[in-house]
Structure 1
Amino acid sequence: MSFGIVVIISIFVLFLPNDDVPSGFPPGTDKLVHSALFAALALTGLRAGARARWLVPVLVAYAVGSEIGQSVPALGRSSDPLDVVADCVGIVIGWLCSVNIRRTSR
């Protein structure tokens, strides 16, 4: 259930038109949001029982796809390859957190 909620949140965060995206945050905040969002996706997906060997590549593809989607003119947003890097950092963080939780709960 939590994974589904995070997926829905990610769709809103990643695909809102530019007019609906909050502005005025300090520089770099966007990258932190990307990392946190993808860490949450990885952690909740793995905790829900998804296997890392398929979830991680799917999330990487989602990261790339979301940046391609943000380049659609109707959204008025821009694509940034560094966002994909931040997403991948988040995926690794989420995976490591999942491994740590699993290890400590044994």
Structure 2
Amino acid sequence: MLYAPRAPSTDQVPLVGPVVDKAVHLAVFALVAWTGRRAGLPVRVLVVVLLAHAVVSELLQHWVLPHRSGDPLDALADAAGVLVGLLLAARPGTRRGRLGA
């Protein structure tokens, strides 16, 4: 999805707009962060790797993929997704209920 040669346009998918695009970025990174915590990966490792991936993916889209452009707001949505995923994984009653564990 992040590295597809072309992003879906409003011509191809009418419901895709800036808000939906950011929501998808947030959801994808939240799911990965949540899954990583549930798998027992350390928070610090997840945060560093996922935030680096958010930035690098936007740079690659901008510089390498001719029909794509990097968007700093996408990276911010990715970072918000990381936070949401970690918070959901840290809810009391989950197997790993502490952020620092």
TM class by shorter chain equals: 0.7 to 0.9
Give the equivalent residue in structure 1 for 2:21.
30
1:54 matched to 2:45? The reply is yes
Separation of aligned partners in 2, 1:40 and 1:90: 8
Separation of aligned partners in 2, 1:41 and 1:105: 16
Which of 96, 99, 104 aligns to 2:93? It is 104
Q: Which moved more, 1:48-57 or 1:70-79?
A: 70-79
Which has more radius of gyration? 2
- RMSD of Structure 2 on Structure 1 (CA): 1.4
Deviation at 1:49, TM superposition (A): 1.0
TM-score if structure 2 supplies the norm length? 0.82
1:80 matched to 2:71? The reply is yes
Which has more helix, going by share of residues? 1
TM-score if structure 1 supplies the norm length? 0.78
Amino acid at match of 1:15: Y
What percent identity do the matched residue pairs reach? 46
